[in-house]
A and B are shown apart, each in its own frame.
Chain A
Amino acid sequence: MTSKYNIITFLPVNLFEQFQEVANTYFLFLLILQLIPQISSLSWFTTIVPLVLVLSITAVKDATDDYFRHKSDNQVNNRQSQVLIGGILQKEKWMNVRVGDIIKLENNQFVAHNSESFFVFFCRSETNMKVRQSLSVTSELGDPNNLAQFDGEVVCEPPNNKLDRFCGTLYWKDCKYPLSNQNMLLRGCVLRNTESCYGLVIFAGPDTKLMQNSGRTKFKRTSIDRLMNTLVLWIFGFLVCMGVILAIGNAVWEKEVGALFQSFLPWDPPVDNFLFSAFLSFWSYVIILNTVVPISLYVSVEVIRLGHSYFINWDRRMFCSRSNTAAEARTTTLNEELGQVEYIFSDKTGTLTQNIMTFNKCSINGHAYGEVMNILGAQQKRVQPLDFSAWNPLADRDFCFYDQSLLEAVMVGEPAVHEFFRVLSLCHTVMSEEKSEGELVYKAQSPDEGALVTAARNFGFVFRSRTPGTVTTQELGKAVTYTLLAILDFNNIRKRMSVIVRNPKGRIRLYCKGADTVLFERLHSCSHDLMNITSDHLNEYAGDGLRTLAVAYRDLSEEQWEEWSERFRGADKATDCRDDRLAAAYEEIEQDMMLLGATAIEDKLQEGVPETIAILSLANIKIWVLTGDKQETAVNIGYSCKMLTDDMTEIFIVNGHTVQSVREELRKARERMLESTRTRDGGKEAEAQGWVGACAFGNGCGGGAAANWMPDESKCPPPQAPPSSLLESISGEFALIISGHSLFLETACACRAVICCRVTPLQKALVVELVKRHKKAVTLAIGDGANDVSMIKTAHIGVGISGQEGIQAVLASDYSFSQFRFLQRLLLVHGRWSYLRMCRFLCYFFYKNFAFTMVHFWFGFFCGFSAQTVYDQYFITLYNIVYTSLPVLAMGIFDQDVPEQRSLEYPKLYEPGQLNLLFNKREFFICIAQGIYTSVVLFFIPYGVLSHATQSNGVPLADYQTFAIALDTGYWTAINHFFIWGSLGTYFTILFAMHSSILFNIFPKQFHFLGSAHNTLGQPVVWLTIALATVICIAPVLAFRFLKLDLKPQLSDTVRYTQLVLQKKRKPAGRAGRGVGGAGVASGSSLGRLGRGGSRRSGYAFAHQEGFGELITSGKNMRLSSLALATFASRHSSSWIDTLRRKKHANSTGVQNTPPTGEDNAASSQAPTLSTSSSAAGEAGQPCNEPIITQNPDDIALSVIRCPERDAGECSTATLQEAPFVWKGSGVRISGASSPGPPPIAEETSSGE
């Protein structure tokens, strides 16, 4: 399926592909030239041997790749699946599954084909799942027998690669049912939390969306590749020039000398004059000098890259033992570009953060808890987490809290503390599952809520279960059941949620939690003092990068409640403007609240993220975070992962709603930047660090960028961009946050860090593309989810975080590993080395070829320009592929200038790569010049020596074969010397031994060079000449390098030098990097986080979606919460399924129904007639409940679609942007709502109403 060849087609197809490479064709051309006897200056094997070698190495590599593809194909194809054949489920290999088959999928099973589902599915990815549901009408087909009778027809769109879109229609029993993406299970996802489901295969094999997506990825080339190609072209030109010079020489010689020499050497019959002879001589020289265009270059480069890739794969320090995944270089062609990265575009959730929230601190009634006293300074980490299990059997063992005083407060029975935790245990939309007594599992749609409820649980306020009308908790050991009167649901505008409950004593109370900014406005005046204290605490928490929530309550009298509930019901039943009315009703009751305190939740960063980011930014790599998250969350994370730091003088937030306002804000930001830079310059502040310059530089970058970006901006048509959408960028001194879906590149680039919030996957790619296009910098995109795929594919280098979020990002990536922190190692160690090695390799490669070939050029002047070779033909044949390839290869693979620890300690070492310093055109010319110099030395020194030399036995030495050996050996020593200089000493001896054995074994075997080695190497003169030539070749280089080292030392030299000194002194090394790393090491808990005192505090921390409150009160998701509720659920099921369907229709504006075509499978690729589905009509008054769980804040754009009427601007934007949400497919979840038999799972976070 994915493989390219089979045994028969391999050879022709592979050869055809290989000869499409210019280099190979060129050598084929040379080979043909050599077959013309008049031209042939070398025998044919000098070209064919390297060519065959090169071709076969490539062929072997291709064959191996293809073999693995075959293997994985077989593995996938032979995976067992259950297919319904004749009413019976039968085992069948996946490869035999055809379109139209009905298959059964079981829990945790991979889906290998696109299939339409007939039951409710929940796709689960990481902590959140994607819901997939069946058409309600199909739910009656619950068993194989019924399914076998199924005779519906599906008409759908032709296969495409849009993961988030599907439209089709099911014709069944004379009815039309629209099918959308909600009904599809895509290949590559895993069914989770669902016993089994049935599905109809709609696309199979290459038609599946995954395969359509994973189709030919755009071939990425590195900048070195491009440079190399240019250089090869130049060399071609150079070759032709040399050929012309020599041909002219030949013409002159033939005219002046050759014509007279004919008594001994008549012209060949076709040659009748010197011009023709010159013409032939030109081609002859093209053949001879072909070694300047190195045939083995490309192969060697491939081999080196392959070697580097293996080193990445093998690196144990990039191995994550938790997920048992090693780093993987999925592309072998990009390694050296890793050493040149200037911009990193990172996803947030799952990449920077683990998307795990932990309850960290709280402030109750003015007391701050959770702050562990820092008595013994660094020993704070030794503090043991509290042991809750002793007194609370229901405690969650994984919960860690360090502050004993809070527990004591609970024990003592402080009412505020109790009330605080009561709020946490009541005011949420979490579902609980109690598998056995005391074993509670919470299913929270937002990890924040989960963390809060878990915290309350551990402090004795255990949320146990809920029904639509009640919430049962266990408060300090005794069960209490509250009557749930109303849930005032969360949404992005309200930024708070409340519940109104009646406690067993009959008291009605409103509990509210929400963003402090929102909540504080609605507090009772008597809470003001407390508010101030709490506010301070909140600032502190926010400074620690924690996500904060304020908690409050309000006592309601029976009358108030009655009165309000009346209005609420009215609003709820309203058909028009229901949402607004509801919001107004909520607003009304959420007043005069009493503040209880605040919570602080840590969005757990992945291990080592702040250190990694710090080190990367020290390495002058700019990090942009592109996230679908809200601004508050994103900025928070920006602080906690040290992207934003307090030494940044200003943070600009650009948050305009229109194109104009965005532009305006940007302009202001830029002005302030310039101004500030100016004042700084004027004040000559010594603290100016590297990035001041960077800012100034950025300021200079052209205004054209903005203009270019404008078309894109105009692509976001609604002038009222959603207020929440923003782009934020933060610079060294300045940070700016920009709203709108566009950014002004030059402003953003002047900043050290940029955070773009609320970006869709497509916009992520656009941002990357923009930077790529205008900055000419190497970009790297890192992400973990399907919504990062576009960005990963666009960037020069795509990195996938493997492990949690499914495999799509990894599939699209060039490198994958499981932890963000490995990025520093990938870039600073592997990337840097790769770049360094590749550059050195190229330098020496060109050098050696020039030194080798130019000798022929010089010799041309002494042999009548006759294209006589200086060397033996075998020597020419083997020179590139045997003699000299290994040392340079070895150097290209194993060279290290500084040890890996130093690379991490001195991130500045990374800069030469970014600036492209180690191999550029200048370096190339230096290499060439050096090569030519060497060739001059190699030719003229032996010339001077040997033209007059006489062997001691009297045989003249001035024999051209002797000449060859002398040259060869002199040259070799030079190469070896360089090889020693930068490489591992061990390899030197091996290679030298190999070389000499070749020298002695191969030469005697050759016919006409017989005895040359024997005769020459016995001569002291030869050795003296070799020594002389070597010294002349090397001494100037050595001297130059030494002087450069002294006069203009590179950082790497300094590092090496320091290291040497340090080794001698036996003193622990490290200053810069250590310090930075050390600060962050302690951040296992939030304690190590760097604070950002006085910075703007974070907002509401809820990452979750609205609509759940309604779900809960409607009770329609309760049906599975316990077995006892099963009947309840089934009773209501029809209605909620209906609602669900309506809702789905409401939202699936993009879905088009297709008219029947009479074909029932996907193969019917007739263009569907676009017709507005009837469901579109129902859009207006639909409540915004959606059975999609998106706890992942990255999916924010999804919510955009969900609520068309609530936020028109946002929605239309999203729709027009076309890819607002890419389905993350790692898990599918089914709930057998009305399926016969026991319900598949006993709990459910949500479903449709």
Chain B
Amino acid sequence: MKNEGEGSERPDNTAFTQQRLPAWQPILSAGIVIPGFLIIGLAFIGIGIGLFLTSQTIQVLEMDYTGVEKDSPCFRCTIQSSQNCTCDVTFSLSTLFTGPVFFYYGLSNYFQNFRKYGVSKDYYQLTGDTKYFKSPQDVCAPYAYDSKSNPIVPCGAIANSMFNDTFELYQIINGTKKQVPLDGKGISWWTDYNIKYRNPSPVNGSFANAFEGTVKPINWPKAAYELDLTDPYNNGFLNQDFLVWMRRSALPQFRKLYRRITEGDYSAGLPAGNYSLTVHYNYPVLSFDGRKKVVFSNVSWMGGKNDFLGIAYLVVGSLCVVMSVVMLIVYAKFKFSDDDA
């Protein structure tokens, strides 16, 4: 294969060529493995206990408001197809729901992770590239053009199916409703808001003019440039709700952050009492047997409530300890006798 070059053919005497590189060769000796397992096991049990206890302190309140059952408050919204159906879901808290409280909406049996669904958006449109406003990419089909062949912005199935229920939360104090302020800022990923999505630059000073010649997604009540007319930084493709929706979920059952409750009287959390959640029921899920719910939750250092992790740690930790004991027994039984022999 290779000529070794001129002069002597003697190969170089280096550690590399002679395969004498210093190496560390771990051996699975009893002295390492058994204590190793024991230590890992104990550590895992410790972590598991910590996680489990932390997880226990987290409060979660989940309410299904799909309205499948006849007696549920939103049942009427499921049968009539009126645009502005609202229903009130009431609940009461017996103790303080410690803040900051996160307010999620959740969907189940909803396949945001379906491949065809997932690719159905135009990255270029969403970076504010107006060239693609006129001609959305093929992947958006059949939500690229409306029936009159007008390009849809933002195109695609994801945008088209944006979740459009809205919620208002009231605390009922002595029969009067006191609105709980919901903070919708910063609920999306920082990178999404600052880097990944861009609005088109305004044309003639008007943001809406940039969307000239395009139509809104079929399911949308209003165009992208009208998503939040009060706050230009929360409008268009940078609308927080839009960004949250566009970040697809990995599993068919998911929840997405809707609002945070951090302001005013509620910065310490939701005090005990009765609450009423007004749902503007727009989003149809019953056709595919889907469910909608709202979730209130607070978090710890380890995130939201997650018993699984703690339990898994506990289980694995105890298995490790058991294994180490088994190995010790086996080792004692076989190895020692071997050594004597």
Contacts and interface: CB of A to CB of B under 8 A. Distances in A.
Interface of A: 37, 41, 65, 68, 257-258, 260-261, 263-266, 268-269, 284, 306, 309-311, 313-317, 319, 321, 324-326, 328-330, 332, 833, 862-864, 866-870, 894, 896, 900, 941, 943-963, 980-986, 1007-1008, 1010-1011, 1014-1015, 1019-1021, 1024-1025, 1028, 1031-1032, 1035, 1038-1039, 1041-1043, 1045-1047, 1053, 1056-1057, 1060
Given A263-B288, A269-B142, A958-B249, A1021 B309 contact: yes
Given A866-B115, A1047-B334, A1028 B141 contact: no
12 contacts: A265-B114, A311-B19, A324-B10, A948-B305, A954-B260, A955-B187, A960-B250, A981-B26, A1011-B195, A1024-B313, A1028-B309, A1031-B40
A909 to B, nearest CB: 15
Contacts of A306: 1
In the complex, the 8 A-B pairs of residues with the closest C-beta atoms, listed nearest first: A950-B304, A1011-B191, A960-B250, A985-B24, A314-B17, A866-B115, A868-B115, A260-B288
Given A264-B157, A864-B111, 7 more contacts: A265-B120, A948-B307, A949-B309, A954-B100, A957-B303, A982-B25, A1035-B319
B135 to A, nearest CB: 17
Interface of A: prevailing SS: helix
Given A864-B111, A944-B308, A984 B8 contact: no
Contact of A894 (B3, B19, B113, B304): B19
Given A260-B288, A1046-B334, A1038 B28 contact: yes
Interface-centre pick from B116, B161, B297, B316 (highest chain A CB count, 10 A): B116
Interface string B150-192: 0000000100110000000000000000000000000111111
Contacts of B248: 959-960
B9 interface: yes
A1047 B308 CA distance: 35
Interface stretch (B75-83, B221-229, B251-259, B268-276): B251-259
A891 B181 CA distance: 59
Interface string B1-32: 11110001111110001110111111111100
Nearest to B191: A1011
A282 B130 CA distance: 37
B115 A867 contact: yes
B302 A955 contact: no
A1046 B188 CA distance: 54
A952 B299 contact: yes
A953 B250 CA distance: 19
Contacts of B160: 264
Given A941-B312, A954-B187, A1021 B306 contact: yes
A316 B303 contact: no
Contact of B21 (A309, A986, A1024): A986
Interface-centre pick from A309, A314, A941 (highest chain B CB count, 10 A): A314
B331 interface: yes
Nearest to A1039: B323
A315 B13 CA distance: 9
B247 A319 contact: no
Interface-centre pick from A328, A833, A949, A957 (highest chain B CB count, 10 A): A949
Contacts of B247: 959
A1020 B302 contact: yes
B316 A316 contact: no
Nearest to A944: B308
A950 B249 CA distance: 13
Interface string B103-115: 0100001110111
A316 B320 contact: no
Given A986-B23, A1039-B327, A1047-B330, A1010 B195 contact: yes
Contacts of B157: 264-266
A1035 B320 CA distance: 8
Interface string B46-90: 010001000000000000000000000000000000000000000
Interface in B209-251: 247-251
Contact of B196 (A41, A329, A1010): A1010
A310 B104 CA distance: 61
B266 interface: no
Contacts of A319: 9-11
B251 A862 contact: yes
Contacts of A941: 312
Given A316-B13, A950-B297, A1021-B303, A1011 B196 contact: yes
B297 A1056 contact: no
A37 B187 CA distance: 35
A316 B111 contact: no
Contact of A1039 (B2, B37, B189): B37
Contact of A863 (B189, B252, B308, B316): B252
A1240 to B, nearest CB: 33
B203 interface: no
A1035 B28 contact: no
Contacts of B331: 1046
A1038 B33 contact: yes
Contacts of A321: 10
B299 A950 contact: yes
A1008 B123 contact: yes
Contacts of B301: 952, 1020
Given A309-B1, A1010-B195, A1015 B189 contact: yes
A601 B120 CA distance: 90
Nearest to B32: A1042
A862 B313 contact: no
Contacts of A316: 10-11, 13, 17-18
B133 interface: no
A325 B9 contact: yes
Given A313-B1, A1007-B123, A1015-B189, A949 B114 contact: no
A986 B123 CA distance: 43
B246 to A, nearest CB: 10
Given A900-B19, A949-B303, A1021-B309, A1031 B113 contact: no
A258 B114 CA distance: 10
Given A311-B19, A950-B299, A956-B104, A261 B250 contact: no
A945 B100 contact: no
Nearest to A1019: B303
A309 B256 CA distance: 57
Nearest to B161: A264
A1024 B47 contact: yes
B218 to A, nearest CB: 11
A956 B299 CA distance: 11
A863 B113 contact: yes
A840 to B, nearest CB: 14
Nearest to B117: A265
Contact of A1042 (B109, B252, B284, B327): B327
Contact of A868 (B118, B253, B330): B118
Contact of B249 (A313, A960, A1045, A1047): A960
Nearest to B188: A955
Given A324-B10, A956-B256, A1047-B330, A257 B138 contact: no
